[in-house]
Amino acid sequence: MCDVPEGSFMMGCDEARDPGCDEDEKPYHRVSLGHYLIDEHEVTVAEYARCLAAGACEPAVSNWIWGRRYCNFNKTDRANHPQNCVTWFHARDYCRWAGKRLPTEAEWEKAARGTDGAVYSWGDTPAGCAAAVIDDGGDGCGTNSTWPVCSKPLGRGPFGTCDMMGNTFEWTADWYDARYFDHTPKSAPRGPAKGSKRVLKGGSWNRGVEKTRASHRVGYPPDDNPYCRGFRCAYTPTR
């Protein structure tokens, strides 16, 4: 896991630096978080299989029409690819089994962009397939699939994480509210108390560069599991 020290960071979209700001990413604001750890990469097919074998996880098979083709579950050549086709509940259950938890949206975003409001993990300049597994002229940088985790070293974040931009969208712990940033707490925000959708972050292998910005956020029902959904876990040290 990667260590993210206690301190504040800038969350949301800075219109002075990012021309792609969506309304639900505003206003740009400062947030303080305690010390935490976050997985270096998205949970892989091999890691998820261990949870399945232990009886703590369910098969990650999408009910979407293209699920059989694009889901990594049970594909022998995808052990080191991110486990996609997971619902929010799949992600939560895996993190619990691993002794961890899903990161909050704020924790995810700080780990992805650092403390100075960078648009991407690597800075403010779009880098396309040089730094992230996205649709940059073709899904999955032309492979029509996810890639093995940490295949794009130029895309590593300031705390050492990889693939926070692209490969799969990642579930977070928070409920989604398009206007949450209008009244978000300044310290350790945990999202709305209730809702009908959970926050996803980070873009995907079948989405363009505009979806891979660190501040980009989208809400989907927690039981939704197309082939572009994955996750990573977080952990709060006890001392």
Q: What average pLDDT score do residues 32-52 get?
A: 97
CA–CA separation, 104 and 94 (whole Å): 16
Q: What average pLDDT score do residues 137-148 get?
A: 93
Residue appearing with tokens 């873009």? 203
Residue 28 has pLDDT above 80, yes or no: yes
Nearest to 45 by CA among 17, 24, 12, 73: 73
Q: Is 123 left (phi over 0), alpha (psi -120 to 50) or beta?
A: left
Q: What average pLDDT score do residues 157-173 get?
A: 97
- CATH number, domain of 196, equals 3.90.1580.10
Q: Identify the three-state secondary structure at position 46.
A: helix
How many structural domains comprise the chain?
Answer: 1
Q: What is the pTM of this model?
A: 0.95
Query: Which residues span the domain enclosing 31?
Result: 2-235
Mean pLDDT across the chain = 94
Tens-digit pLDDT profile for residues 44-93: 999 999 999 999 999 988 777 766 778 998 888 999 999 999 999 999 99
